[in-house]
Amino acid sequence: VTLLSCLVDTELSFLDYIRGGTQINFTVAIDFTASNGNPSQPTSLHYMSPYQLNDYAMALRAIGEIIQDYDSDKMFPALGFGAKLPPDGRVSHEFPLVRSCFTQHPAIHHLGPRS
């Protein structure tokens, strides 16, 4: 019996990439298109209840609390898309969210770099 070829395939894990020096930068993009419903209505994905997080906030918190430990600069750019912005009301496909707007909900406020 003669072995003509042998291939050993290694499956790398997430931690293998981190140990190998892979850099991760966490960036958030929020969908402001009308398909999410009216943000003043509780059925909207953008509804900001004073009592509980909306679906977006829950996802951001769940992912952010884990990924922040792997983000080297602890800076989390936040972008929006699909909103009609002043002064002309045209739909923007990418715009920055300023920190004061992004952190208005008290449950999201601490989703930043840990001290």
pLDDT tens digits for range 56-86: 888 888 988 888 888 888 888 888 898 888 8
pTM as predicted: 0.59
Q: Tell me the residue length of the chain.
A: 115
Distance, CA of 75 to CA of 111 (rounded, Å): 11
**Residue 103 binned pLDDT confidence (cut-offs 50, 70, 90):** very low
Q: How many CB atoms lie within 10 A of CB 49?
A: 11
Pick from 13-17, 33-37, 38-42, 109-113: least confident: 109-113
- 75 Cβ neighbours under 8 A, 6+ residues apart: 25, 113
Give the ranges where 1-115 is alpha helix by DSSP (H): 14-19, 55-67, 99-102
Residue 62's nearest CA partner among 2, 28, 111, 113 is 111
31-42: b (≥16 Cβ within 10 Å) or e: ebeeebeeeeee
Cis bond upstream, residue 42 (ω within 30): no
